[in-house]
Structure 1
Amino acid sequence: MVGNRARAAIIWSRQVTGLTPDVIAELVAEVGPLWHERHQAGLASRPRRRAVGAGAKHKLAFVDRLLATLVHLRHGATHDVLACWFGVDRSTITRAIGEVRPLLSERGCTIAPGVRLRSLAEVVDYLGVSGQTGIIDGTEIRVRRPAAGRKDREKFISGKNKQNAVKSMVVTDADGRLLFCSPAQPASCADITHARQLGLVRLLADGPVVEILADAGYQGLGAQTGGRVVTPPHRKFKKDAPDWYEEMHERQRKAHSSRRIRVEHGIAHLKNWRALARHHGRREHMTDTIQAIAGLLSHQQTITLAADERM
């Protein structure tokens, strides 16, 4: 088990976890009871020869399990390194991360203290009520190539980067604050197809009037959503365009790009967490990893913004 001084160093150094001590304290108070409840339910759900609570005790307290998960997500530290750091076996770290990471992914993205968005439908409703503009974009995370001979081995190859990756659709507001990260899909899926599979067209067509900015990969959604999805302007002249048209098109393209650049900043903050820079673990865990990091980052952004407003 990690010592008190090492635990305090992890908590108080934002470079280690990417979170302030206040956010970590809120995570302990919120996620700790959920983890304990699930752990007890798991013990009681299987046949036992001894009563629940008998036998060897945990060598790794929940606080240390949470910190190990945060360090793993932030820096991509391997389970072997974390096991040496926390003074436990590698399998203990693997089990701890496997238990805590899903709990973090279920929290959703924080937009205000105690207010979270957990689905794309909630995001559309929030944008409609607040009158804000949303921005969407797809991001790819490199993953390990499936084993030779495995079915659908080629579906993870990105058509853009020609590498094995998974894709997630990121939604931010006009200021670049994270509102939603979708479950991971194989990178061979096009951005516009992924958006349709998530139900974005139906939510915008049947929901409130919302403006969604997107890049050229989503061209075609505007017609399906009554103009709610705004993409870069089409070129009306493929060759021999008049000078006045080239100047006007370039001006419109830059104006659109300057409005939607905030989503790129939001994705960059996500990629600062090394687990999303390149994923070396199981592809099955990518959805939990993406949504857990999005929830943690949005929570920290909300706390930081609230502190700046008080000053």
Structure 2
Amino acid sequence: MIAELVAEVGPLWHERHQAGLASRPRCRAVGAGAKHKLVFVDRLLATLVHLRHGATHDVLACWFGVDRSTITRAIGEVRPLLAMRGCTIAPGVRLRSLAEVVDYLGASGQTGIIDGTEVRVRRPAVGRKDREKFISGKNKQNAVKFMVVTDAGGRLLFCSPAQPASCADITHARQLGLVRLLADGPVVEILADAGYQGLGAQTGGQVVTPPHRKFRKDVPDWYEEMRKTHSSRRIRVEHGIAHLKNWRALARHHGRREHMTDTIQAIAGLLSHQQTIALAADERM
């Protein structure tokens, strides 16, 4: 997989690097001066170790024998390129937007599952504008939220950009354009939890949520049966989220909040690629 990433991301990094050199006034030719101490393969490895194991920039700098600022710059260059790859569903076929996910589900006849999840982040500084936006109403902690879409088997199809955790799940889905995409696109079935109740009516029943609880006493058996059946169908998205948070960079984020979207989408792309390879191996067996 490392060789594939080098072959895919390496030319993009080199192109961006050369464009950056050529875009500013220079007193010497492009390519002159000191050379990189950290070649691209090492930059990629440092980024992968940082995302997977949460190793700090100081530790990585010691491992690779360079300055901490070199590691910070390398991760800042490689991480957005990994985020641009999207989620792999087949060799050479990737989904990079929610619209592509809806089209894929409609064309394949599969059921999608959506859920929102949060990652704890550092508290914004005192006096910062909109400081309270990051406080989660559910966990009472400073966090960011993103929406995850998987298929019925739990394979990752999409991770949305991060939003402050005060944003409700249903509001986030509407901001991403899910209602419009389902109205204008193919007919699909998407399972969701109670946090998305209300989208079913707006999407003609394409978003399926558990039934409202209308009984305070003497809850009928059919109600609990329906909720249990729905929960067992959508549990796969929880497994997908758990696999995402096995990557230490998402266990708790200690870096800048502005980088959360790239971090989330880079990890989702790497994880979906692993899932696709594992699925293809199982099918061959």
TM-score above 0.5, yes or no: yes
Superposition pairs of residues 60-99 of structure 1, within 5 angstroms: 60-99=38-77
**CA deviation string 1:189-242 (max 9, x = no partner):** 000000000000011111111000000000000000000000011223233445
Q: Distance between the aligned counterparts of 2:121 and 2:190, measured in 1?
A: 29
Q: Post-superposition, which runs of at least 4 consecutive aligned residues in structure 1 deviate over 4 A?
A: 240-248
SS across alignment from 1:111: strand
Q: Distance between the aligned counterparts of 2:66 and 2:135, measured in 1?
A: 37
Count residues with an aligned counterpart. Answer: 285
**CA deviation string 1:3-49 (max 9, x = no partner):** xxxxxxxxxxxxxxxxxxxx111100000000000000000000001
Q: Distance between the aligned counterparts of 2:224 and 2:4, measured in 1?
A: 53
SS across alignment from 1:134: strand
Q: Distance between the aligned counterparts of 1:160 and 1:237, measured in 2?
A: 24
**CA deviation string 1:40-78 (max 9, x = no partner):** 000000000110000001111100000000000001110
Q: Give the 3 Å change call, closer, same or farther, for CA 143–242 of structure 1 in structure 2.
A: closer
Deviation at 1:243, TM superposition (A): 6.2
Q: Distance between the aligned counterparts of 1:244 and 1:98, measured in 2?
A: 53
Deviation at 1:307, TM superposition (A): 2.0
Deviation at 1:247, TM superposition (A): 6.2
**CA deviation string 1:91-134 (max 9, x = no partner):** 00000000000000000000000000000000000000000000
Q: Give the 3 Å change call, closer, same or farther, for CA 242–25 of structure 1 in structure 2.
A: closer
**CA deviation string 1:177-200 (max 9, x = no partner):** 000000000000000000000000
Deviation at 1:171, TM superposition (A): 0.0
Q: Give the 3 Å change call, closer, same or farther, for CA 68–232 of structure 1 in structure 2.
A: same
SS across alignment from 1:124: helix
Please say if 1:268 is aligned against 2:246. no
Identity over aligned pairs, percent: 95
Structure 1: gaps spanning 5 or more residues: 1-22
Q: Distance between the aligned counterparts of 2:77 and 2:223, measured in 1?
A: 57
Q: Distance between the aligned counterparts of 1:258 and 1:245, measured in 2?
A: 14
Deviates more, 1:301-310 or 1:211-220: 301-310
Q: Distance between the aligned counterparts of 2:140 and 2:2, measured in 1?
A: 38
Q: Distance between the aligned counterparts of 2:42 and 2:222, measured in 1?
A: 63
Q: Distance between the aligned counterparts of 1:307 and 1:245, measured in 2?
A: 40
Deviation at 1:306, TM superposition (A): 1.4
Tell me the TM-score normalised to structure 2 length: 0.98
Instruction: Report what 1:301 is aligned to.
Output: 275
CA contact (8 A) 2:211 2:223 kept: no
Deviation at 1:245, TM superposition (A): 5.7
Q: Give the 3 Å change call, closer, same or farther, for CA 27–254 of structure 1 in structure 2.
A: same
Q: Give the 3 Å change call, closer, same or farther, for CA 159–64 of structure 1 in structure 2.
A: same
Q: Give the 3 Å change call, closer, same or farther, for CA 242–286 of structure 1 in structure 2.
A: closer
Structure 2: gaps spanning 5 or more residues: none
Q: Distance between the aligned counterparts of 1:90 and 1:171, measured in 2?
A: 36
SS across alignment from 1:202: helix
Q: Distance between the aligned counterparts of 2:147 and 2:100, measured in 1?
A: 15
Deviation at 1:244, TM superposition (A): 6.7
Tell me the TM-score normalised to structure 1 length: 0.90
CA contact (8 A) 2:110 2:152 kept: yes
Cα RMSD (Å): 1.2
Q: Distance between the aligned counterparts of 1:233 and 1:172, measured in 2?
A: 22
SS across alignment from 2:122: coil
Instruction: Report what 2:260 is aligned to.
Output: 286
**CA deviation string 1:237-285 (max 9, x = no partner):** 233445676666xxxx111000000000000000000000100000000
Q: Give the 3 Å change call, closer, same or farther, for CA 241–101 of structure 1 in structure 2.
A: closer
Deviation at 1:292, TM superposition (A): 0.3
**CA deviation string 1:149-184 (max 9, x = no partner):** 111000000000000000000000000000000000
